């Protein structure tokens, strides 16, 4: 007996630099708690943020970085300063790869 193929529909959103997240929006998008993100911000993971946490805005490009930070914390149990270092090193690797593959 042959089964009929099923169709699965996926919906996604392209997040670009002009997209901004609030702190609570970044929490929802990554699954991280506010206290986690605030701690990572104090370690420099997402750059310097001025003012109260309620006024912070994050570029859409930081969503990937935040999700990697969540994975590093949950899967490898890396502390906040280690996450900042690991993300900086991953950025450096990406930059070096881009230089090597550039014609």
Per-residue model confidence as pLDDT tens for the chain (103 residues): 566 777 887 766 666 667 899 999 999 999 999 999 999 999 989 887 888 888 999 998 899 999 999 999 999 999 999 999 999 999 999 999 999 987 6
What is the reported pLDDT for 82? 97
Domain count, the chain: 1
Q: Which domain holds residue 80?
A: 20-101
- CATH number reported for the structural domain that contains residue 76 in this entry: 1.10.1660.10
Q: Is residue 6 part of a domain?
A: no
Q: Is residue 40 part of a domain?
A: yes
Can you give the pTM of this predicted structure? 0.78
Q: Is residue 4 part of a domain?
A: no
What is the reported pLDDT for 48? 74
Q: Is residue 81 part of a domain?
A: yes
Kindly report the number of other CB atoms within 10 A of residue 14's CB atom.
6
Report which of 71, 93, 69 is spatially closest to residue 83, judged by C-alpha positions. 69
Q: Is residue 1 part of a domain?
A: no
Q: Is residue 24 part of a domain?
A: yes
What is the reported pLDDT for 13? 64
């Amino acid at each position: 007996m042959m089964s009929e193929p099923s169709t699965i529909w996926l919906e996604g959103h392209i997040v670009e630099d002009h997209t901004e997240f609030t702190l609570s929006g970044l929490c929802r998008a990554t699954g991280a708690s506010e206290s986690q993100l605030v701690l990572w911000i104090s370690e420099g993971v997402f750059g310097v943020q001025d003012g109260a946490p309620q006024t912070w805005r994050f570029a859409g490009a930081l969503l990937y970085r935040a999700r990697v930070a969540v994975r590093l914390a949950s899967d490898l149990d890396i502390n906040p300063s280690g996450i900042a270092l690991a993300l900086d090193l991953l950025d450096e690797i990406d930059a070096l790869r881009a230089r090597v593959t550039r014609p």
